[in-house]
Amino acid sequence: MEVFTQRLKELINENGISMYRLAKDIGVNKQTVIFWCDGMSEPKISMLKKLAEYFNVTADYLIGLENEDGSRN
């Protein structure tokens, strides 16, 4: 989960959006995004898919199974 937390924070910062904006755009409350960013909870698979689509990355990248270039870890 540590990799997911780190990558989610990086994607939020790189895209210049707020946690509130992300929450609104993917249909969750802000507290949910805060919990994800703090490592207090993990998204369900359906939310992981939405996050991947939102940031135009793969779910495997988000959870640390692959690198930015698509190579496997």
* Total number of domains constituting the chain: 1
Q: What is the DSSP string of 31-69?
A: HHHHHHHHTS----HHHHHHHHHHHT--HHHHHTSB-TT
- Whether 46 is covered by a domain: the verdict is yes
- Over residues 17-35, the pLDDT tens digits come to 999 999 999 999 999 999 9
pLDDT of residue 66: 82
Give Rg (Cα) of the chain.
Answer: 11
Half-sphere exposure of 16 (CA within 13 A, CB side): 0
35-73 tens-digit pLDDT: 999 999 999 999 999 999 999 999 999 999 988 766 776
The Cβ of residue 6 has, within 10 Å, a number of other Cβ atoms equal to: 13
Domain that holds residue 43: 2-63
What is the domain-level CATH number for residue 6? Answer: 1.10.260.40
Residue 18 forms part of a structural domain: yes
